[in-house]
Amino acid sequence: MKKAFNIFMIAALAVITLAGCEKNTPENPIGNNCKLTNVDGSYNGTPEYNALITYEGDKIKTITKGSEVITYSYETNRITIKNNDAYSYDDEVLTLVGGRISKLEVGGYTNNYFYNAEGYLSKIESYEGNQLIEQTMLTYTNGNLTSSVSGDPDLFLRKVTTYEFSSELSKPNFFLNTPHLNAYDTAIIGSYLGKLSNNQLVKSTTKNYLGTEVAPLSTVINTYQYTKDASGNFATGTHKSENTDAGGTTVTTINEKYTFTCN
């Protein structure tokens, strides 16, 4: 399933290395020790995908799932992502300023990214052509993302999300820390989007509203769990999503197993 694979993709681009010990500050990539090279995933208990990752130096070069191949090309201030599957028609181009993404372009759509003085992503503006169609504001407390509000410029349709974190320090290369930043199904998480939250994300609650209505049209609760191996590398991850609207509640679960290759 393409959606499930995209959740993995966030992990893939974010990963550089894994440190094997805990520190008093968020862990930083160390050299070129361990790289994520395989992800085996299931969707609601059914095996769904097996993805292979190759590297060029410390950067992702390709992600392959069956006949689908995603290729990353790097320039000084640009990353180009090509996908050969039947659902992707345009290259995705990321423009970098100071090592951080300032713009994402795909087809006729553009995302502009803004950062606060502390280096955290604080705003995303989305355009169709020259027309602003959505903007997202992000708020942080004590080094963790606590909420985001997104919607059209008039906030006729708006989405409010709150985030909960464990006491465990985050690893900057793991997708469970910032899945909310996925944009246009592009894997662009990690230092490319500024500073990450200090701790590990375990839950997010999103409520979708119409205009000034107090009661949400729908509510989506996402929970994230994971295990590590003896070396401190992530071994498994579970993402459970509960979507409740007028028609009831739908639950989906994605389970993944991770394989790291260490030098």
Higher pLDDT, 175 or 166: 166
Please say if the pLDDT value at position 128 is more than 80: yes
- The percent of residues above 70 in pLDDT, for the chain, comes to 78
Q: What is the pTM of this model?
A: 0.82
Q: Looking up tokens 């087809």, which residue turns up? A: 107
pLDDT in tens, 73-92: 999 999 998 888 766 668 88
Mean pLDDT for the chain?
Answer: 80
At position 85, the amino acid (one-letter code) is D
* Interval 211-223 mean pLDDT: 93
Ranges assigned E (strand) in 100-156 = 100-106, 109-115, 121-128, 131-141, 144-151
Query: What is the dotted CATH code of the domain comprising 2-262?
Result: 2.40.160.190
pLDDT in tens, 154-174: 878 999 999 999 998 876 555
Please say if the pLDDT value at position 10 is more than 80: no
